[in-house]
Structure 1
Amino acid sequence: MNNSAEIPNDIEVITLASGCFWCTEAVFKRVNGVISVISGYTGGSINNPSYDEVCSGETGHAEAVQIKFDPKIISVKQILEIFWYTHDPTTLNRQGNDVGTQYRSAVFYNSEGQKDIALKVKDELENKKVYSSPIVTEITPFRNFYEAEEYHRDYYDNNRTAPYCNYVIDPKVNKLLTKFSSNLKGEYLKH
């Protein structure tokens, strides 16, 4: 589905790609101020691609999440800091064993303000030498977004014992829980 629904004026939307969308969805659905996280495909050349088409690497789409958030609770800057911290933005077209342009690191911004903040946060991380290699995250204008098939929704929460969840998603969620505990929704706080 192309993103054409009306968004209330006090809500912002940003689309982020950081490898497998199961991982990114699991991270951001736990963040306070995030209203919704939808897995899907963006940045490609065909309309309404299927998972199999995107996985072929031939459509140009990235697996991504579209995040609706309340900027009075969490800022774009905070969203981007979480984004960069919970994946490896230094590997071109790859996250771990997931390889191909569909797994690239990318920020698809909806406004010049989001673009400016993304560039600023990226520069800050580079200047602080947070990573030993350069950040290769693509920062590009948002064009379209197509929701992923139903079975991809809430994959992590519905499949917690699956090996992929244990070995790939758990470490990313644990990074969020450790570094950004003050940004968590109440039900995800460690007790």
Structure 2
Amino acid sequence: MAEPETPAPRRAPAGAAVLQEDVTRAIRAAVFTELATSGYGRLSIEAVAKRAGVGKTAVYRRWKSKLELVLDVVSEVAGQVTPVPDTGSLRGDVHELVTTAAQALRHPLARQIVPDLLAEAARSPEIAATLEEALQRTQRGIAGVVIRNAVERGELPEGTDPELALDLILGPVYWRLAVIREELTPAQARSLTRAAMAALADAGTE
């Protein structure tokens, strides 16, 4: 059976690059759906290719293995999940971080994929290292910008720890949505924002 995607000729016709990018996007989307429905352990290149509507060689041209495929896709998406808030105030930024993280974790795919990947990370040093690099680096960078802006506005003292701020702001959101799997209402998001603000102010006095 012919592969749905064929190698591009030496002189690619107009639009060929767009077609290739469409194939890559279809594969990435298929990976997330397969992770959500089957989990990492049962995920296969064959299933990803079938769901994406391409042949297996289209996947292997881009990634050498299932592990490389999943790690690359998760890394890329992790860096795009949470934009850096810039509302003009620390309270506004914290509230936006809380609500944005809640929205991301509330997504049906995320609710299945995140716990599964964390479980796999306990068994695979490569997955653990990638999750730490992708997720923690991204979120720490965002927290660093938020705290730096707050310090410049005089809302927090110099030396406020961005990592501690990240724990205080997003830790409760993850606990509620990913661990105990309870909803986070708008009123509760506002309460978490107030609690995080109080905790940051208290931490800054030590």
Q: Bin the TM-score by the shorter chain.
A: under 0.3
Higher helix share: 2
Q: Which has the higher contact order (CA 8 A, sep 6+)?
A: 1
The structure with the largest alpha-carbon Rg is 2
Which structure is higher in strand share? 1
TM-score of the superposition, structure 1-length normalised? 0.28
